[in-house]
Amino acid sequence: MTYSLYPLKFDPICKEKPWGGKKLGELLGKEISHLDNCGESWEVSAIPGNISRVSNGFLKGNSLTELIEVYMEDLVGERVFERFGNDFPLLFKFLDTGDKLSIQVHPGDALALERHQGRGKEEIWYVLDTTGDAELVTGFSREVSREEYQKCLRENRLMDILRVEKVKKGDVFHIPPGQVHAIGKGVTLCEIQQSSDITYRIFDWDRLGSDGKTRKLHTGEALEVINLKPFESRVEYSAARNKATELVSCGHFTTRILQFDRTINADYMFVDSFIVYICTEGRAMLNYPGGSELIKSGETVLLPAEIRDIKMVPQEPCTILETYIA
């Protein structure tokens, strides 16, 4: 069988952030010399104004949305296309924190649709690197009332009721809508999420934006969506060598990790979806009917749904995050 599509790479969309750093260039090889503080590299995106463009093969220069319009279910899968149409449902990023992010929360699908005509934001983090005593905020340390939460916020004591966790390379966290969270200083991670850029900022450490003013807070909107009960975000897993290990499977996507040092034959007959690979370490050839594509640390590849069989041949020990719509 011959295929009209092939494993697709995209030009990273690198973003200046007041809390950003330099690690996306140093660690992942992103071209960020034009930015003072690069906080994010959007790897696969269909967010308006930030739509990814192909960087390899005969489709080079075409946008992700243009590809879906032309190739439809051959690119994203029949069930995915029936569900989402021309809208690509996920967003893939790398983040680097030279300073801590704001304390924030995201709405779920229902409220995001009603208020923003968009999607909610469920996400996972895979930690790539840390510097110093790196920490994350992952919800509340205990159940609190609305009154106690608001009192702590007014008195600048919010950290008294939040859960702070030390983090290291390889840690995984699942952040559902409604969970208060923040990424601390000195963390480089991969973020896999619904295709949404809706964030309710609760507290931003009185930091000034590029305009010299404090950034806008969304305390009222956040209160409508916050889950005031503790939720265990840390994902405990034990990766099996040379086979896929599931990390998170939620209603919006499934992510597995592959750590391999020998050839893996991947068969995707079980899933009617595109696959997105994010290489976090090493390099491997992705051999598919009709050709091959190299993926190396810091790179992201979208495997079209019409390609159901692929052979991953490591050039050195390799770690890949694999995501699809179940």
Q: How far apart are CA 298 and CA 18, in angstroms?
A: 22
Tens of pLDDT along 120-158? 999 999 999 999 999 999 999 999 999 999 999 999 999
CA 16 to chain centre: 17
Which pLDDT score is estimated for 257?
98
The answer to whether 144 and 181 have CB atoms below 8 angstroms apart is: no
Nearest Cα to Cα of residue 188 among 278, 126, 128, 100: 128
User: Is 262 among the residues known to form the active site?
Assistant: no
The answer to whether 69 and 86 have CB atoms below 8 angstroms apart is: yes
Q: How far apart are CA 215 and CA 206, in angstroms?
A: 8
Walk me through the domains of the chain, giving residue ranges and CATH numbers: 13-225 (2.60.120.10), 244-324 (2.60.120.10)
Q: How confident is the model at residue 215 (pLDDT cuts 50, 70, 90)?
A: confident
Q: How far apart are CA 319 and CA 241, in angstroms?
A: 10
Kindly tell me if the per-residue pLDDT of 36 is higher than 90. Answer: yes
pTM (whole model) above 0.85 = yes
Which pLDDT score is estimated for 209?
72
Kindly tell me if the per-residue pLDDT of 3 is higher than 70. Answer: no
Helix and strand counts by DSSP (H, E) for the chain = 7, 20
Which pLDDT score is estimated for 296?
98
Tens of pLDDT along 251-307? 999 999 999 999 999 999 999 999 999 999 999 999 999 899 999 999 999 999 999
H or E element at residue 197: none
**Both tokens assigned to 33:** 């010399």
Q: How far apart are CA 201 and CA 204, in angstroms?
A: 7
Of the candidates 53, 79, 201, 215, the residue annotated as catalytic is 201
Instruction: Average the pLDDT over 209-221 and give the result.
Output: 86
Each as own residue / partner, the long-range contacts of residues 219-224 (CB below 8 Å, 24 or more positions apart, any chain) are: 219/153, 221/107, 221/115, 222/104, 222/105, 222/180, 223/146, 223/149, 223/150, 224/107, 224/111
What is the residue-averaged pLDDT of the chain?
Answer: 96
3-state secondary structure of 221: helix
